[in-house]
């Protein structure tokens, strides 16, 4: 063979590979709602005990709350990007919300996956760190955690709610973040207030930035192109499926959304199988305490409900939904063993093509 046809990697590509060693390409390429400045002050919450001091938002933000309420579309496109919902954040057109509206009649399960998550961006100082490392950072606080914070702040005896972010007399918060057994979820719990108020240090306040400097909005076209896999860094050419069929990028985007749900479900397959065996024909679900019930619910209801929705749900309703899901899984297992139905991803591809061609 002619040696001239062989190609060696360039020095530039090898240098890039060296600089990126140990990193995950998809994660590095994934877009978040934060600007480069925001990435630098983002607080990554670990699964452990925490003590934090809430800080007020920057005066230029003119917010009458601890932080900024944001609505985020997650797992968008092949790199699982995040985008601020243009409809809820700016009262403008949002391509993902438009697609969700179209899917409700034909693919309601997929439509549910397109709901944006609601979170609160709050400035905090991690008091568990050494003093010289205590700086203002942004906490992307889940809705349920904020509910717990407001709960421990309220004094029933005097009908008073404490301002935990007060500059002069703010009160630190203790809480735990723990992995929920047999799931990929972590849960915030055990919220308590410190005994004594603390004054916010000048260096903490100097680190607080206006939110328009730490978050960024993508354009309608950018979100649409990434969501549907059109243009930009994603090629317009068709992908070839394992069966040899071609799928458009818009089909692939929808298929990937379902594949994400399926992979999430597979991670708990063993748990679900064990649950089905233990609960079929028994009343063990009725005997579960709240924590046990929620742990089971996040495995069998994850396709239909977010963890925050499960935590907020009444116990009676939650038991009913879990029982229905368990019974459905038993029936599905029996049917799968006997009938061997069409692969879910192939079925979805067929439905998408039918909808496009109709």
Which of 169, 192, 222 is where one domain is finished? 222
* Structural domain span for residue 339: 237-357
Q: Is residue 99 part of a domain?
A: yes
Chain position carrying tokens 């990126």: 20
Domain with 47 in it: what CATH number? Answer: 3.90.198.10
Last residue of a domain, one of 196, 222, 248: 222
Residue 161 has pLDDT above 70, yes or no: yes
DSSP state of 41: T
- Confidence band (pLDDT; 50, 70, 90) for 111? confident
186 and 145 within one domain: yes
Is 242 found in the same domain as 130?
no
Asked whether residue 212 falls in the same domain as residue 250, the answer is no
Q: How many domains does the chain have?
A: 2
Render pLDDT for 61-109 as a digit per residue (tens, 0 to 9): 999 899 999 999 998 888 889 999 999 999 999 999 998 888 888 888 8
Confidence band, pLDDT 50/70/90 cuts, at residue 275: very low
The three-state DSSP-derived secondary structure of 140-208 is EEEHHHHHHHHHHHEECCCCEECCCCCCCCEEEEEEEEEECCCCCCEEEEEEEEEEEEECCCHHHHHCC
In a domain, 22, yes or no: no
- Which domain-ending residue is among 195, 222, 249? 222
> Are residues 342 and 277 part of one domain?
yes
Residues 184 and 85 both lie in one domain: yes
Count the helix, strand and coil residues of the chain and give each as a percent rounded to the nearest 5: 45, 20, 35
pLDDT (tens digit, 9 = 90+) per residue, 259-274? 444 444 444 434 333 3
Are residue 207 and residue 288 in the same domain, yes or no?
no
| 205 is a domain residue | yes
In a domain, 51, yes or no: yes
Cβ atoms of 175 and 161 closer than 8 Å: no
- The DSSP call for residue 67 is S
Strands (E), 36-146: 49-55, 68-76, 81-84, 117-126, 136-142
- For the record, the structure tokens of 240 come out as 């070839």
Mark whether 104 and 128 lie in a shared domain: yes
- The answer to whether residue 199 is domain-embedded is yes
Question: Shortest CA distance to 329 belongs to which of 291, 351, 293, 303?
Answer: 303
Prediction pTM value: 0.59
Residue at 333 is within a domain: yes
Q: Do 46 and 169 sit in the same domain of this protein? A: yes
Write down the mean pLDDT value for the chain.
Answer: 77
Residues 76 and 200 in one domain: yes
Residues 178 and 261 in one domain: no
Whether pLDDT at 250 is above 80 = no
pLDDT in tens, 113-160: 888 999 999 999 999 999 999 999 999 999 999 999 999 999 999 999
Is residue 63, in this structure, part of any structural domain at all? yes
pLDDT at 249 over 50: no
| Residue 4, in any domain of the structure | no
Question: Do 156 and 258 share a domain, yes or no?
Answer: no
pLDDT, tens digit, 9 for 90 and up, residues 291-322: 778 778 877 777 677 777 787 777 778 888 88
């Amino acid at each position: 063979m002619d040696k001239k046809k062989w190609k060696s990697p360039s020095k530039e590509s090898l240098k890039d590979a060296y600089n990126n060693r140990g990193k995950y390409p998809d994660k590095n390429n994934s877009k978040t709602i934060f600007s480069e400045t925001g990435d630098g002050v983002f607080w990554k919450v670990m699964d452990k005990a925490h003590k934090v001091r809430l800080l007020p938002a920057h005066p230029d933000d003119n917010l009458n709350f601890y932080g900024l309420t944001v609505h985020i579309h997650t797992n968008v496109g092949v790199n699982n990007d995040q985008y601020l919902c243009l409809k809820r954040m700016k009262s403008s057109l949002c391509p993902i919300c438009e697609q969700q509206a179209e899917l409700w009649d034909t693919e309601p399960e997929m439509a549910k996956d397109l709901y944006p998550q609601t979170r609160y961006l709050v400035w905090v100082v991690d008091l568990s760190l050494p003093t010289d490392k205590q700086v203002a950072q942004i906490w992307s606080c889940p809705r349920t955690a904020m509910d717990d914070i407001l709960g421990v702040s309220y004094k029933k005896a005097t009908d008073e709610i404490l301002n935990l972010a007060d500059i002069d007399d703010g009160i630190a918060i203790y809480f735990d973040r723990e992995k929920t057994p047999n799931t990929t979820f972590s849960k915030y719990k055990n919220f308590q207030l410190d005994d004594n108020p603390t004054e916010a240090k000048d260096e903490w306040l100097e680190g607080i930035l206006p939110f328009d400097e730490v978050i960024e909005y993508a354009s309608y076209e950018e979100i649409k192109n990434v969501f549907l896999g059109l243009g930009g860094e994603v090629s317009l050419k068709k992908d070839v499926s394992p069966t040899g069929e071609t799928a458009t990028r818009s089909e692939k985007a929808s298929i990937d959304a379902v594949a994400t749900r399926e992979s999430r479900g597979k991670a708990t397959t063993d748990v679900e199988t064990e649950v089905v065996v233990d609960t079929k024909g028994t009343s063990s679900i009725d005997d579960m305490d709240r924590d046990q019930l929620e742990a089971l619910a996040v495995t069998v209801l994850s396709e239909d409900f977010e963890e925050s929705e499960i935590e907020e749900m009444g116990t009676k309703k939650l038991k009913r939904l879990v029982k229905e899901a368990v019974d459905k899984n038993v029936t599905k297992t029996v049917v799968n063993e006997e009938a061997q139905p069409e692969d879910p991803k192939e079925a979805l591809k067929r439905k998408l093509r039918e909808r496009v061609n109709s």
